Every structure is written in C-alpha cells, then in structure tokens.
C-alpha cells in the first residue's frame, strides 16, 4: 500500500533523510520510531506530497507521490505534527469545511461528520470555537479531519502528543481498531506507543533506517543471551559452580546483593524450570527466579547511540547486550 524506495531529502547541504526504504502492507500499522530530528516528519511530508523527494520514489496505493499527487492525496488522511485547524471556526464548521474539500456533500457529509464526532468523542465540543479548545481536543479534531473521508491510508505524525493518559489509551485503541482495514504509519518517539499499537517498527536515526522488525523480534535480534536472575536464602559456597553445570547455562555472575546470581544462558533456552528444581531439591532457599529481558527501549537506545558505527547499512548492529541494570524483568517465579 505504501512503498518508499531509496528516498533521500536534502535541505541545501543538509541531508534530512538518506536512502530510506520501507513498505507498509494493506491493513498494517507501522511505527516510525526515532529521536528528535531523525527524519520522521520529512518522510511523512514526502509521502503526503507536501514536498518532493530529492532522490528516490515514494508510492501510495500504486500512485507515485511526485507524479500523481492528487490520486495519492485522495487516498490519504494526514495528521501533521501541528493539527491543521482553524482557530476561528467551530469544530463542526471546520469538519464541514474539510469534508467539502474532500468532495463530500449532503447526506454523505453529515454521516461522515457524525461518525468522526462520535469516534473521537467530540460531541460536547462540536459547537465550540477550535481556538478555545484544549490541546488534546484540538489533536482529536486533527484526527477527525484525517479520518473524515475514510481513507485507506493514514499518516499520523505523533498522534498522541499533548493528550492526557486516558486520551492516549483511547487514541491507541482507535488506531488499533483501524488495523486490518487501513494502512497506518504513525511516528513517535515514545517506545510503549510503538509496542502497544504496531505490528512492525522502523527505527530511524540521523535520517537512516537502522532497524526494521516486529517489536518482539527487534529485542530478540539484539540479544546475545537470555539472562536469568536467581536469589537464594541459603546459597552454598559452590552454588555458582553447580549452577554453571546446568544445561544451557553459559556463565554465572555473582557480586550483586548477597545470595543473588545472574545466569547468562543460551539464546532461546529457558533454564528457569531446571534451576528452580535444583534450588528446591538442594534446599537452597529459593527466594526469586526471573528472566531479564531487553526492552524495546534498550534496543532503541543501543541503536541510536551507535548510529555512527552502523550508518553504512540497514542491518542491526550486533552490539553487546545492555547492562542488566538498564534491563527490565518479566515473568517471576
Ligand atoms: N524545512 C527545513 N529546512 C532545513 N532543514 C530541515 C527542514 N525541515 C527539517 N529539517 C531538518 O531535517 C532533519 C529531520 O527533521 P524532521 O522534522 O524530519 O525530524 P523528526 O524525526 O520529525 O523530528 P521530531 O521528533 O523533532 O519531530 C532535522 O535535522 C531538521 O533540522
Ligand atoms: Mg517530526
């Protein structure tokens, strides 16, 4: 549905994005994740025909953004970084205006407006001036205008910026509900957002794509080993050596709190059951047993921190796993 091939954008001598290539399938929700200045907005502006690429091609629904911009724009709903709203219009005046620009008239226009007012919870504010609305409501009006003509493709530049936590959850639910029937690209620098709503994540840094995969696989690909944390109340002197003998355990680190062991294990191998059994059988006083996984946040920081070293390719850098202190824990015993 969206196909971006080797797109470069230069502003004078400054290269904002460099040979960016990715695609989005029909019904897929893709997160465009990157720090400030990474090139997210630039890529979206090219896709929405707001400006042309310096090099490369971008296509939406089979139409070229540079050559057939009208066909592309018909199929796109775009929420720019700053919602394109008119302060001096009321919400319904504005939506009526946008709908007419989109070619909607009569009953179709009324029905589309009612659908989006309902979907975005704009009922209580529909007769108020947009200039008097809170930022969150203005953002919702921006989303309503993007959805009004029910486009198959949605390009949302930081859609949850300025919203309160409850609204963030609602908007994420809304985006998730669009999956399947719509192709969505949303940009964000908020990691949980990418994991919460997207099937695939493209990480962009310094204008280059540094990784592309599902949130789960991204974390897995950067991991070199699984880590398990074990805490024993009555650890014998030779506990580390005996833990080391368990199949799948590669290394045992001590030196943390008393009785705590950090086990580095073979990738893809879950040693917790066996470790638990050994600890219980030997009456070592099993207090805690949990796996430590790398979050998408660790992956993101690692990729964007080492941006220079991996700038040459689009493959993931094989850097050592982040320190256990920056990792988070999941399942516990
Ligand atoms: N009109 C412009 N003229 C010159 N440079 C620009 C222009 N627009 C963007 N840039 C530069 O291009 C780079 C990419 O900017 P872009 O706005 O695409 O980043 P972004 O990922 O959207 O960042 P943010 O998270 O802050 O919105 C930045 O270095 C920015 O300064
Ligand atoms: Mg931006």
Two structure tokens written together for 147? 């959805």
pTM score: 0.74
- 52 located within any domain: yes
User: Ligand 1 in contact with 304 (CB < 6 A)?
Assistant: no
pLDDT at 323 over 50: no
Tell me, yes or no, whether 196 and 284 share the same domain: no
Q: Name the band, by pLDDT with cuts 50, 70 and 90, for residue 309.
A: very low
- 167 located within any domain: yes
The contacts of residue 145 (CB under 8 Å, 6+ apart) are: 77, 79, 83, 84, 85, 94, 95, 98
CATH number for the domain spanning 56: value is: 3.40.50.300
Tell me, yes or no, whether 215 and 228 share the same domain: no
Tell me, yes or no, whether 35 and 126 share the same domain: yes
Tell me, yes or no, whether 81 and 202 share the same domain: yes
Distance between CA atoms of residues 158 and 166, nearest Å? 16
Q: Name the band, by pLDDT with cuts 50, 70 and 90, for residue 269.
A: confident
For helices 91-101 and 106-119, what crossing angle results, to 10°? 130
Q: What pLDDT shows up at residue 295? A: 63
SS3 85: coil
- 330 located within any domain: no
- 125 located within any domain: yes
Report whether 191 contacts 296 (CB < 8 A): yes
Last residue of a domain, one of 219, 252, 282: 219
- 307 located within any domain: no
Last residue of a domain, one of 219, 236, 269: 219
Q: What pLDDT shows up at residue 112? A: 96
What's the start-to-end Cα distance of the chain, in Å? Answer: 44
Q: What number does the ligand 1 atom closest to the CA of 35 have?
A: 25
- 36 located within any domain: yes
Tell me, yes or no, whether 148 and 251 share the same domain: no
Tell me how far the alpha carbon of residue 161 lies from the centroid of ligand 2, in angstroms.
11
Total domains in the chain come to: 2
pLDDT at 318 over 80: no
Tell me, yes or no, whether 135 and 280 share the same domain: no
Two structure tokens written together for 132? 């008097």
Q: Which domain holds residue 174?
A: 2-219
Report whether 73 contacts 48 (CB < 8 A): yes
Q: What is the DSSP string of 177-244?
A: HHBTTBEEEEEES-HHHHHHH-SEEEEEETTEEEEEE-HHHHHHHH-SSEEEEEEESS--TTHHHHHH
Tell me, yes or no, whether 114 and 41 share the same domain: yes
**Mean pLDDT to the nearest integer, 215-242:** 83
Q: What pLDDT shows up at residue 223? A: 61
For 314, counting Cβ atoms within 10 Å of its Cβ (0-12 exposed, 13-18 middle, 19+ buried), the class is middle
Tell me, yes or no, whether 212 and 240 share the same domain: no
Tell me how far the alpha carbon of residue 41 lies from the centroid of ligand 2, in angstroms.
4
How does pLDDT run across 146-183, given as a tens digit for each residue?
Answer: 999 999 999 999 998 878 888 888 888 889 988 988 99
How does pLDDT run across 116-145, given as a tens digit for each residue?
Answer: 999 999 999 999 999 999 888 999 999 999
Tell me, yes or no, whether 24 and 44 share the same domain: yes
Tell me, yes or no, whether 202 and 231 share the same domain: no
- 323 located within any domain: no
Tell me, yes or no, whether 92 and 231 share the same domain: no
Q: Which of 38, 156, 204 to mutate to test the pocket of ligand 1 (most atoms within 8 A of CB)?
A: 38
């Amino acid at each position: 549905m969206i196909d971006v091939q080797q797109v470069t954008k230069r502003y004078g001598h400054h290269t904002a994005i460099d040979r960016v290539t990715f695609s989005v399938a029909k019904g897929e929700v893709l997160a465009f994740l990157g720090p400030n200045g990474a090139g997210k907005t630039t890529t979206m502006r090219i896709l929405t025909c707001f400006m042309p690429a310096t090099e490369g091609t971008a296509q939406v629904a089979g139409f070229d953004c540079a050559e057939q911009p009208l066909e592309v724009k018909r199929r796109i709903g775009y929420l720019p970084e700053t919602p394109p709203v008119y302060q001096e219009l009321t919400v319904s005046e504005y939506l009526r205006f946008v709908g007419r620009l989109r070619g909607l008239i009569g009953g179709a226009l009324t029905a589309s407006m009612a659908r989006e007012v309902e979907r975005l919870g704009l009922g209580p504010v529909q007769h108020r001036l947009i200039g008097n609305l809170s930022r969150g409501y203005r953002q919702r009006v921006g989303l309503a205008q993007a959805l009004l003509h029910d486009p198959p493709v949605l390009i949302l530049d930081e859609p949850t910026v300025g919203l309160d936590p409850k609204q963030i959850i609602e908007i994420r639910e809304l985006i998730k509900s669009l999956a399947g029937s719509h192709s969505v690209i949303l940009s964000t620098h908020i990691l949980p957002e990418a994991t919460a709503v997207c099937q695939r994540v493209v990480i962009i840094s310094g204008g280059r794509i540094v990784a592309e995969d599902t949130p789960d696989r991204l974390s897995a690909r950067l991991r070199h080993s699984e880590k398990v944390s074990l805490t024993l109340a009555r650890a014998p002197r030779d506990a580390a050596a005996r833990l080391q003998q368990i199949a799948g355990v590669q290394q045992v680190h001590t030196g943390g709190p008393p009785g705590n062991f950090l086990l580095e294990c073979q990738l893809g191998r879950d040693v917790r059951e066996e470790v638990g059994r050994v600890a219980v059988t030997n009456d070592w006083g099993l207090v805690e047993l949990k796996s430590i996984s790398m979050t998408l946040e660790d992956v993101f920081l690692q990729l964007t921190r080492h941006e220079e070293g991996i700038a040459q390719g689009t493959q993931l850098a094989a850097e050592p796993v982040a320190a256990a202190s920056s990792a988070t824990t999941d399942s516990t015993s």
